[in-house]
């Protein structure tokens, strides 16, 4: 790397003057980053694209097969179902998970005493390791009439629900847990943004005769616009890659109602009795990445004028 | 710093503790080691100390207080009206109740179920100890099921990942921000570019890299290196570190160079000691991420004796009895919760900071 840089600055350079100018120590400090990112980030990203054009299973040597992996993945009958399920998860997650943290954060920002207690309580589920959270909720979702959730429902006269056992209620159950696990982080982000809203704006709104609701609608929410736009796209990108919940709660069942894109990728690569179909797995992951990149690009283009004002 | 000396030991504690006593710095204003300036002083952790510090800060008109004043959406004159005061009080009460039920409820249930016999949990899950407490569950989970091994593995995984991430981010951030070699811009651009690649794209190639790592020749499968090393490739950490270093005053570096300090001395004696706040933040991110990770350790640590808790617990659910299983779940939650309670402010600030960087 250093040899590339040398001729540019002064015409007469030797390795000795390069070392004397600090080139060696610069490189030494850069080395851990270059090695770790090189081996575990940059090289795998390039390899992913290459592998998606190859037939590889570690048994026989890799051969280039053009776009065959992409054709195979796109014509897989499971893809449609997995894509629809992922969309459904993302849509439900928006429905449950997008408004709740906002409302809670706005209410919390008005708490004067012991706000730290409120924040801590809201953030607590985020601290629980995700695997533990899923396994614990799996116990909660016990579909027997004596399951924890069904017991609570019986107190208010609601009959036992099948939760994870039926194709109709499995996905909403997954989303409910995912929302519980993630809402705290979003609440804290909104709270941080809310404290930076200038009080002058509220003063000004009051002089114009605005009540509390008008202040929320015309001052608070517009001031949060930037954060709201970002959390929206981050949530989409996150939910498009949901793996843990469908994998641990239902493993895609019942009747494939919770199989997602990532579950499909995982199965191509690691649950194949014929040896991993690594080409198909990387092809689908590259497709997902491209889709998300295009989606984000369009999203930011569309919302550009809206967020900058 | 005084608060660091009396704390026994896990390597990340002193760093975190130091950050706790910093005045509200927002993580990147470059005030560096301004002494344990929080009025709470050393050792005043927990709720009381937090409140005192916050109050004092408000009185001093620190950055936090300065921007918000004491008002929010509801004005002071609004507050004088009894109807509004009553409504807000009710709303806040309901909010607190909901947060307790949603945030604390499931965990309290887990704690209860961990020491309840299986049949009680199955028949009357919401009853509180109908047939007494069974402490034996915890002992069985720890010794017979050997959660202790998994627990130790989790600590090893987290500690190693933390160390690798810190070394990469600190040296890389220093080189990019302070030393600034000519190729630095290209390197930083490439680091930033990885932020836009979803992790799933790396899954398979990274797995194959672990099977056939370059230069080493033997597979890293079922070694802790397989988890530690890839953790270091976190662009987020490098960005955080570099931005923090960018805000440190250049005059100090110049003065140190005048006094003959080389790049290593500058790094070790000047930059690192000034960077405790950001090291604390990166440490929190690193340890939490390592504690949470599931898919990757599941793929590369296939031997149960090496698996961390998160990987082993799902496998246990079919094989052991419910009460012991729940005890194991409770034990796995304990350390993260304890860390959170101790370093609450650092956690919450890091979470807010994450939003600020993304935004």
State pTM to two decimals.
0.81
Each residue's pLDDT tens digit, A122-170: 999 998 999 999 999 999 999 888 889 999 999 998 998 899 999 889 9
| Domain range for A120 | 80-277
Does B47 have pLDDT greater than 50? no
Between CA A41 and CA B48 the distance in angstroms is 44
Best interface-test mutation with A: which of B79, B112, B201 has the largest number of A CBs within 10 A? B201
Query: Which phi and psi (to 5°) does residue B275 adopt?
Result: -105, 20
Residue of A nearest to B289 (CA): A129
Q: Tell me whether residue A38 is in a domain.
A: no
The residue of chain B with its CA nearest to that of A36 is B233
In a domain, A145, yes or no: yes
pLDDT digit string, tens, across residues A173-209: 999 999 999 999 899 888 888 888 888 888 888 888 8
Confidence of residue A11 (pLDDT cuts 50, 70, 90): low
pLDDT the model gives residue A145: 87
> What CATH number has the domain bearing residue A231?
1.10.3720.10
pLDDT tens digits along B117-133: 888 888 888 888 888 88
Share of chain B above pLDDT 90, in %: 40
Band the pLDDT of B37: cuts 50, 70, 90.
very low
CB contact under 8 A, B183 and A132: no
**Degrees, nearest 5: CA angle A219-A220-A222:** 70
Which of the given ranges, A2-11, B79-88, B160-169, has the highest pLDDT on average?
B160-169
Contact A289 B294 (CB under 8 A): no
Is A56 contained in some domain? Answer: no
- Residue B140 has a pLDDT of 86
Per-residue confidence (pLDDT) for residue B144, from 0 to 100? 84
Strand partners, A54: A64
Q: What average pLDDT does chain B have?
A: 79
d(CA B228, CA B231): 5
Q: How far apart are CA B99 and CA A202, in angstroms?
A: 27
Residue A51 is assigned to a structural domain of this protein: no
pLDDT tens, residue by residue, B140-177: 888 888 888 999 999 999 999 999 999 999 999 999 99
- Number of compact structural domains in chain A: 1
Q: Which of A127, A226, A292 sits opposite B337 (nearest CB)?
A: A127
Q: What share of chain A is helix, strand, coil (3-state, %, to 5)?
A: 75, 0, 25
Which region among A75-84, A211-220, A223-232, B46-55 has the lowest average model confidence (pLDDT)? B46-55
Chain A nearest CA to B21, separation (Å): 16
- In a domain, residue A95? The reply is yes
Measure in Å the smallest separation between the Cα of A22 and chain B Cα atoms: 8
Q: Which pLDDT score is estimated for B336?
A: 87
Q: Which of B166, B138, B177 is nearest to B330 (CA)?
A: B138
Provide mean pLDDT across the span B196-202: 90
Residue A19 lies in a domain: no
Residue contact A199–B329, C-beta within 8 A: no
In-domain check, residue A245: yes
Are A265 and A281 within 8 A, CB to CB? yes
Q: For residue A133, tell me if it sits in a domain.
A: yes
| ipTM for the whole complex | 0.86
d(CA B134, CA B140) in angstroms, rounded, equals: 11
- Residue A273's pLDDT band, with cuts at 50, 70 and 90, is low
pLDDT (tens digit per residue) in A31-71: 999 999 999 999 999 999 999 998 876 767 788 888 888 99
Contact across the interface for A48 and B204, Cβ inside 8 Å: yes
**Token pair of A81, please?**
């179902």
What is the pLDDT, as a whole number, of residue B39?
Answer: 37
| Segment B324-355, tens digit of pLDDT | 999 999 998 988 888 888 888 888 877 776 65
Q: What is the pLDDT of residue B68?
A: 43
DSSP A75-109: T-HHHHHHHHHHHHHHHHHHHHHTHHHHHHHHHHH
> What is the reported pLDDT for A110?
84
pLDDT tens, position by position, B268-325: 999 999 998 889 888 888 888 888 899 999 999 999 999 999 999 998 888 888 889 9
pLDDT value for A31: 94
End-to-end Cα spacing for chain B: 33
C-alpha separations of A270 from A172, A236, B170, B203, B342 in Å: 27, 26, 35, 11, 40
* Residue B36 in this model has a pLDDT that exceeds 50: no
The pLDDT, as a whole number, for residue B38 is 36
The Cα B120–Cα B131 span in angstroms is 7
Is pLDDT of A278 > 70?
yes
Residue B59 has pLDDT above 50, yes or no: no
- pLDDT confidence band for B14 (50 / 70 / 90): very low
Q: Is the pLDDT of residue B242 over 90?
A: yes
- Quote the pLDDT of residue B355: 54
């Amino acid at each position: 790397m250093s040899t590339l840089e040398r001729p540019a600055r002064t015409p007469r350079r030797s390795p000795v003057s390069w070392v004397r100018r600090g080139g060696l120590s610069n490189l030494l400090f850069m080395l851990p980053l270059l090695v770790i990112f090189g081996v575990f980030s940059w090289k795998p990203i390039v390899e992913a694209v290459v592998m998606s054009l190859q037939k590889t299973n570690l048994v026989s040597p890799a051969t280039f097969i053009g776009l065959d992996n992409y054709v195979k993945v796109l014509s897989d009958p499971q893809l449609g179902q997995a894509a629809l399920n992922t969309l459904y998860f993302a849509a439900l997650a928006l429905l449950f998970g997008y408004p709740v943290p906002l409302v809670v954060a706005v209410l919390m920002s008005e708490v004067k005493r012991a706000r730290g207690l409120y924040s801590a309580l809201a953030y607590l589920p985020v601290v629980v390791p995700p695997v533990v959270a899923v396994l614990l909720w799996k116990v909660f979702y016990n579909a027997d009439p004596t399951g924890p959730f069904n017991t609570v429902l019986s107190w208010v006269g609601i009959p036992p629900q099948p939760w994870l056992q039926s194709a109709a209620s499995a996905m909403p159950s997954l989303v409910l847990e995912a929302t519980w696990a993630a809402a705290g982080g979003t609440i804290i982000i909104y709270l941080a943004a809310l404290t930076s809203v200038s009080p002058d704006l509220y003063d000004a709104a009051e002089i114009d005769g605005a009540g509390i609701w008008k202040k929320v609608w015309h001052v608070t929410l517009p001031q949060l616009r930037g954060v709201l736009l970002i959390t929206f796209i981050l949530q989409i990108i996150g939910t498009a890659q949901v793996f843990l919940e469908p994998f641990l709660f239902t493993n895609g069942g019942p009747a494939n109602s919770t199989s997602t894109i990532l579950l499909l990728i995982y199965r191509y690569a690691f649950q194949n009795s014929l040896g991993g179909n690594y080409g198909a797995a990387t092809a689908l992951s590259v497709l997902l990445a491209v889709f998300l990149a295009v989606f984000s690009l369009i999203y930011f283009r569309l919302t550009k004028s809206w967020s900058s004002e | 710093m005084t608060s660091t000396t009396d704390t026994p030991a896990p390597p990340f504690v002193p760093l975190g503790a130091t950050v706790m006593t910093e005045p509200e710095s927002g993580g990147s204003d470059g005030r560096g080691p301004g002494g344990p300036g929080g009025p709470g002083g050393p050792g005043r952790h927990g709720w009381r100390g937090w409140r005192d510090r916050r109050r004092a800060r408000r009185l001093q008109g620190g950055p936090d207080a300065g921007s918000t004043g004491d008002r929010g959406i509801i004005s002071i004159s609004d507050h004088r009206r009894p109807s509004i005061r009553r409504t807000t009080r009710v709303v806040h009460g309901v909010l607190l109740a909901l947060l307790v039920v949603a945030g604390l409820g499931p965990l309290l249930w887990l704690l209860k179920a961990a020491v309840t016999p299986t049949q009680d949990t199955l028949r009357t899950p919401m009853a509180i100890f109908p047939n007494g407490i069974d402490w034996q569950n915890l002992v069985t989970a720890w010794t017979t099921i050997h959660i202790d091994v998994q627990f130790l593995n989790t600590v090893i995984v987290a500690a190693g990942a933390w160390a690798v991430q810190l070394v990469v981010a600190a040296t890389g951030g220093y080189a990019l921000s302070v030393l600034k070699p000519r190729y630095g811009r290209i390197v930083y651009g490439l680091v930033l570019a990885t932020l836009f690649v979803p992790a799933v794209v790396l899954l398979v190639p990274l797995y194959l890299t672990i099977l056939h790592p370059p230069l080493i020749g033997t597979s890293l499968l079922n070694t802790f290196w397989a988890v530690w090393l890839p953790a270091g490739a976190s662009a987020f950490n490098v960005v955080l570190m570099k931005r923090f270093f960018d805000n440190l005053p250049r005059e100090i570096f110049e003065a140190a160079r005048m006094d003959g300090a080389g790049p290593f001395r500058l790094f070790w004696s000047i930059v690192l000691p000034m960077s405790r706040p950001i090291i604390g933040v990166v440490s929190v991110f690193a340890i939490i991420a390592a504690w949470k990770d599931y898919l990757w350790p599941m793929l590369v640590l296939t031997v149960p004796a090496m698996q961390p808790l998160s990987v082993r617990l799902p496998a246990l659910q079919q094989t052991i009895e419910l009460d012991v299983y729940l005890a194991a779940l409770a034990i796995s939650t304990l350390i993260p919760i304890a860390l959170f309670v101790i370093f609450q402010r650092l956690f919450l600030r890091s979470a807010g900071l994450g939003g600020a960087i993304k935004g």
